Every structure is written in C-alpha cells, then in structure tokens.
Amino acid sequence: MPGIDHYLWLSSILFCIGVAGVLLRRNGIILLMCIELMLNAVNLLFTAFSTYYQDSAGQIFVFFIMVVAAAEVAVGLAILVMIYRNTKSVDVSIMDKLKF
C-alpha cells in the first residue's frame, strides 16, 4: 500500500523532469508539454494530500489548476503560432535578438 511519502516522491520526480525539460529543450511545443508536466505533478500531489487528509479542498484546487492551465496553454500556443508566422520556426533558441 503506497503511503503519502511515495506520492510525494513521485510528484517531486515528475516536477523535476518538467523543470529539466523546460531548461534543456529548445522546441516551443515541447516546452509547453514540460510546463504541463510540472502542473500535473502538482495536481497529483494535491490529490494525494486531499485523500490523505480526507479533505475535499485539495481536489477543488485541482480543478482550478486544470482550468487555468488550459487557458494558459491556449495563450501560449497563440504566441507560438504568431512566432511561427514571422520566423517559420518554433525553435525558441532563434529568439535571441534581445540582449545587451
């Protein structure tokens, strides 16, 4: 029977994979997926705590995160489409015009 510690480790590992992906990958779409992975790791943690304490507030929070994540990805994809129109690429490493 997995305890709360196991869930905590699992979601921490998922979160770290997401963070590593955002820091290492260069494709815009993959970056969005890695951010989703971070948010879903948090969702898992909320649900685990919610079940552990028999408290529904954590699960309600998960719905809020899902809604906001959907809105955020919609805007993020729109930004990527705008960039693709101007540069014909979704590689974020070509966006390096702004530096001193």
Partner 1 sequence: MKTLILLFISGIFSLFGGIFGMRKILPYFAVIALATGISYLVYDSNYGSENLQFMLLFDHYSYLFTGIILGVTLLVTLMSLKGLSYNPGSLGDMIGLIFFILCGAICMISYNNMVMLFLGIEILSIPLYVLVGSNKRNLYSNESALKYFLMGAFATGFLLFGIALIYGATRSFDLDLIRSMSETALNANPVWVNMGLLFITIAFAFKLAAVPFHYWSPDVYQGSPTLVTAFMATVVKTAGIAAFLKFVIYLSPMLGDSWHLILSIISACTMLFANIVALKQTDFKRMLAYSSISHVGYILMAFLNLNAETVSVVGFYLIIYSLATIGIFAALLLLNPDHNSDNGFDLFKGLSKRSPLLAAIISICLLSLAGIPPFPGFFAKYAVFKQTIENDLWLLILAIISSAISIYYYFRAITLMYFTAEEEATSPMPDKNIAGYMVIGFSVIAILVLSLIPGILNF
Beta bridge partners of 91: 27
Residue 19 interacts with partner 1 (CB under 8 A)? yes
Angle at 50 between CA 1 and CA 39, to 5 degrees: 100
CA–CA separation, 75 and 77 (whole Å): 5
The pair of structure tokens assigned to 100 is 């001193």
- Minimum gap (Å) between residue 22 Cβ and partner 1: 6
91 DSSP assignment: B
* Residues near partner 1 (CB under 8 A), total: 45
Name the residues that contact partner 1, by CB under 8 A. 4, 8, 11, 15, 18-19, 22, 28, 31, 35, 38-39, 41-42, 45-46, 49, 52-53, 55, 57-58, 60-61, 64-65, 68, 71-72, 75-76, 78-80, 82-83, 86-87, 92, 95-100
